[in-house]
Amino acid sequence: MNRRTFLLSAGATAVLLAFRNKLSFAKGEAAVPVKAPKPPTEPLLAPWKGPYGGVPPFDKIKVKDFKPALMKGMDLSRADIKAITDSKDAATFENTIAAFEDSGRHYGRAGSMFGTFTSTMNDKAMQKVQKEMAPVMAAFSDEIIQNEALFARIKTVYDGRAKANLTPEQLRLVEKHYTSFARQGAALNKDQKAKLAEINKKLAEAFTAFEQNQLHDEESEQIVIDKEEDLAGLPESIRGAMKAAADAKKLKGKWVITNTRSSAEPFLSYSSRRDLREKVFKMWNSRGDHDGEHDNKPVMLQILALRGERAKLLGFKSHAHWIIDDNMAKTPDNAMNLMMRVWKAATGRVKEEVADMQKIADAEKANIKIEAWDYRYYAEKVRKAKYDLDQDQIKEYLQLDKLREAMFWAAGQLYGFEFKLLKDKNIPVYQKDMTVYEVVRDGKHVGLWYFDPYARAGKNSGAWMSEYRTQENFKGDVTPIVSNNCNYVRTKPGQPVLISWDDANTMFHEFGHALHGLNSAVHYPSLAGTNTKRDFVEFPSQLNEHWLSTPEVLTKFCVHYKTGKPIPQELVDKIEKAKNFNQGFATVEYLACAIYDLKIHTLPGDKIDLSKFYADTMKEIAMPSEIAMRHPPAAFAHIFSSDAYSAGYYSYMWADTLTADAAEAFEEAKSFYDKATAKKLHDNIMSVGDSIAPEQAFRQFRGRDVDTNALMRDRGFPIPAAATVVPKKK
């Protein structure tokens, strides 16, 4: 997403952690007597077959099979847990922690596919299953967490960890599982556990409702243009995409702006029809915010109240305090202090940007005051005037297929990866537009990368990375299977898909998550790949964005879609000169979301007037009237469709402090392809997952703690007199 989504590893990680992450795998029924079921043969449960250690059986998955498979998977997991708790031997790492790590693998496979379908193939039938199963799965997660015998054994190992002669990774795993149980209420009394389970069940239902309401608006709302003159200002590539969208909806002779970012933002950037820009902006900005059956405002209130109640039950002042306590930031104040340090500089830059835009509007005698639906349009005019740089001119060199090749090439230079298209291997996919690549290093198989690039009905908006299977060598040498998912608008057959610079940046970002999963070299799946702290996991992905703008990528892969000629050096120089252009806008539209998220989740949760809170918050931080939050509250899926980024949207900025400093390491080495620096990045960040603390990982890479002033330098903002230091882990 900017937009990021993660499916966690199989086994215990999927059972425990995935429920609290992006897909909020839920649950809701009381424990039942456990009778060990027969080994499953169902595609959703059975070990995957085929090459590369097995591949997801997308060709055999049917929506009707999800419920019975998930229910059977729960029983199989119960049998795994019972085998641990029935042991008469004293609890040890091997018979408790390692055994728990190996539990729930059948259920984990089914859960992984369930999450994949609810985010990419969520038609009406799948939505019905999701609505039914989300609370059931949430309840099952609580059943595991609240298993007193299991937690007692985990606590025994945790309490004796110092004398158990454990390896550093084993120690890390003990601490991770114990902390996960303790934070989620394993030590509560019987009545409190029952209350917590009820809260989590209701949250799972509310998360599903929020996601489906937003998806409804994105699929059902569009703007149809009948007259060609209403396309004034739009480049041919955008017109072609709108025409293709209309053809797909059987609206011959018309043009369609769909309710997706990849469709709305280009229109807002180039359409000279201000009335239509306003109409498109308001359609995109009002998703989930319509009174009636699909209104997300009541759902938001329910979620906030339940989160506040849960935090209090767990002994925390607020939901934000509960979430951030287990992240690098440690406290909401630390997160807010970093954001407000940047906020002042960003809003100062916005004033300069708006003044430049208003000057052009006045010169054109537009007789307007810049509004939110004008910002992108006039920003392009300023870019052209200041830097002689036209984003649409750059777009002619940004072909989707070529950018995919660029990502592969850069990954090869940094990590030695080679990507081989498996078009003749008959690897199952869930949608015909997907492609699958084998990832190889030094002739040895590393993993698989799936690519799902296009928007369609039933698919969540935005872009994200998923892990179908997480790397491990705990139970054999298990290689990772990862995917990247985007929402680009298809063009006519035979025509290249041209994307914006921002979308190209997003591609490299999400591919950075995939590289994090593919580079993993960890023993236990719960510690592998992207299973790290929320405010650290964005670091590898944000760092990967830097390779898009390197001269090597621009000159090798950014070729004109008609002539095939490389991007001219003159244009490359202009891109470099304008790299911090519009940084005020980009930072403010993001930070407004992160500040809103943190502030609303530090409240108790009940009796919140959403409209008043929004207005008061924007007034308090002096939000520029010319900019809207990147994600309007009623469509803020990051924080309201699961717990994943709730009270954690700040994490992009927190991780960017690490990113900016890490990028300077390559700059100091005089090349983003410096082999020694790339090796340090691989050895200390990309391959270690959560097997060591993130602060320690960064310190080993950089040789010191993070310099947060690097963030200000990277964005071209003035550095405040008093520096802020990211606190060390307590």
Active site residues: 510
Q: How far is CA 544 from CA 235, 407, 408, 515, 698, in A?
A: 29, 9, 12, 9, 16
| Residue whose token pair is 């000159």 | 555
Question: Strands across the sheet with 481-488, in order?
Answer: 417-421, 435-441, 444-454, 481-488, 464-469
* Contact residues for 194 (Cβ-Cβ < 8 A; gap 6+): none
Report which of 390, 392, 381, 384 is spatially closest to residue 358, judged by C-alpha positions. 381
Report which of 101, 91, 102, 108 is spatially closest to residue 173, judged by C-alpha positions. 101
Report which of 48, 172, 99, 55 is spatially closest to residue 475, judged by C-alpha positions. 99
- With b for 16 or more beta-carbon neighbours within 10 A and e for fewer, the 20-41 pattern comes to bbbbbbbbbeeeeebeeeeebe
Instruction: Quote the CA–CA distance of 468 and 421 in Å, as a whole number.
Output: 18
Query: Would you say 327 and 643 are in contact if contact means Cβ atoms under 8 Å apart?
Result: no
Question: Taking CA 662 as the corner, what is the angle to CA 659 and CA 667, rounded to the nearest 5 degrees?
Answer: 120
* Contact residues for 363 (Cβ-Cβ < 8 A; gap 6+): none
Query: Would you say 141 and 16 are in contact if contact means Cβ atoms under 8 Å apart?
Result: yes
H or E stretch covering 487: strand 481-488
Look up residue 304 and give its two tokens: 């906030």
Query: Would you say 223 and 234 are in contact if contact means Cβ atoms under 8 Å apart?
Result: no
**What letter does residue 53 receive in the DSSP assignment?**
T
SS3 484: strand
- The per-residue DSSP string of 274-312 comes to HHHHHHHHHHHHTTT--SSTT-SHHHHHHHHHHHHHHHH
Question: Taking CA 298 as the corner, what is the angle to CA 295 and CA 300, rounded to the nearest 5 degrees?
Answer: 100
